[in-house]
Amino acid sequence: MKPSRAWKAIADSATLGRLALLATATLPLAWQAQVPAAYVHLAQFQALAQEHGDRAAGTPGYEAAAQYVEQELADAGYESHRQYFTFEYRGEEVESFNILAEAEAEDGETGAADADTVVMLGAHLDGVPGSPAINDNASGAVALLEAAKALSAQEGITSTVRFAWWGAEEYRRSPGSRHYVEDLAEDDSEELESIAAYLNVDMVASPNPVIGVYDATDTDSGLEVPDGSVEVMEVFTDYFDARDQPWVPTDWNFVSDQVAFVENDIAVGGLFTGSDERKSPREARLFGGEARRPRDPNYHLPGDDLGNVDLDTLETMTAAVTHAANALAQDSSDLE
């Protein structure tokens, strides 16, 4: 049995309480090194879901997931911090927070980019109530975590790269990312203007997936596409093309944490493998899977657990996010 198939069998058959241990203990040592590190993180998120029920904003599950991310960041050498905010839901004030960490630009002589330039990557850490929320969006959160860990070992960074794990995306208007952007707009417009681009990572391991890239060429979008977004898109598409990996454009109006950045004229890009949209016959030919079936049949449902992810897609998208973070850290001049 190949490693990926073995992991799928584990995900399908293991009891939730044993998943975190099974993440490393049950495979032969030669296979363990081939297992995507992001999957090991997902197993931990699944264990937290069993313990707390979910990780919706303002819940003990969200706090536990945040502590896990913060510890992983600390182990990689980052100093993260929380940005607290409140939002209203059904007439009540709910408190949540974002987690922010950054790899700072180094003083160098390359001249590739200004050291004050910031590139941001983000993924929402919360999930809907009553669901383990593994594909939506533990997948994006752990892909981002792996990209941050990889970047911590890089030298020659000429643009600061800031990573964000957003709170409360699953609520109207994504209040976590919106609070971040609006807070900068009110308090320090220069800092907001220093953000050259924002890359969003939301649902990147769907079980019936496509490899989707936010479509910055969408002229019919209700959201005006900021300058620089095509160049961000090409960071992903060039990466996929160089590896003969098929991809498709996604709707620019995808409602997630990138919207507040778009509204403030910041270049945006992102990755997406699908929610409850039905996969087209053409997409099935490109990516395999089942045509006319949802890309994620467990979208926002209790079945969005560890068995609801495609490991090969998770690995592909994690590598793409890591590439984008590294590439833009080294040279973001095309975005200016």
Among 169, 231, 277, 283, which one carries the catalytic annotation?
169
HEC profile for the chain? Answer: CCHHHHHHHHHHHCCHHHHHHHHHHCCCHHHHCCCCHHHHHHHHHHHHHHHHCCCCCCCHHHHHHHHHHHHHHHHCCCCCEEEEEEEEECCEEEEEEEEEEEECCCCCCCCCCCCCCEEEEEEECCCCCCCCCHHHHHHHHHHHHHHHHHHCCCCCCCCEEEEEEECCCCCCCCHHHHHHHHHHHHHCHHHHHCEEEEEEECCCCCCCCCCEEECCCCCCCCCCCCCCHHHHHHHHHHHHHHCCCCCEEECCCCCCCCHHHHHCCCEEEEEECCCCCECCHHHHHHHCCCCCCECCCCCCCCCCCHHHCCHHHHHHHHHHHHHHHHHHHHCCHHHC
Render pLDDT for 28-79 as a digit per residue (tens, 0 to 9).
444 445 566 888 999 999 999 999 999 999 999 999 999 999 999 999 999 9
Structural domain contains residue 7: no
pLDDT level of residue 242 (50, 70, 90 thresholds): very high
Render pLDDT for 170-198 as a digit per residue (tens, 0 to 9).
999 999 999 999 999 887 678 899 999 99
Q: Which tokens is 72 given?
A: 């992983």
**Residue 82 is part of a domain; what is its CATH number?**
3.40.630.10
Structural domain contains residue 122: yes
Are the C-beta atoms of 310 and 229 separated by less than 8 Å?
Answer: no
Instruction: Give the Cα-Cα-Cα angle 131, 135, 141 (nearest 5 degrees).
Output: 105
Structural domain contains residue 12: no
Distance CA 322, CA 327 (A): 9
182 given a catalytic annotation: no
Structural domain contains residue 25: no
Render pLDDT for 71-80 as a digit per residue (tens, 0 to 9).
999 999 999 9
Structural domain contains residue 299: yes
Average pLDDT of the segment spanning 238-252: 96
Domain range holding 124? Answer: 39-106+114-335
Structural domain contains residue 15: no
Average pLDDT of the segment spanning 135-162: 94
Domain count across the chain: 1
pLDDT at 124 over 50: yes
Amino acid, single-letter form, for residue 35? V
pLDDT at 15 over 70: no
Structural domain contains residue 11: no
Structural domain contains residue 216: yes
Its pTM stands at 0.90
pLDDT level of residue 333 (50, 70, 90 thresholds): confident
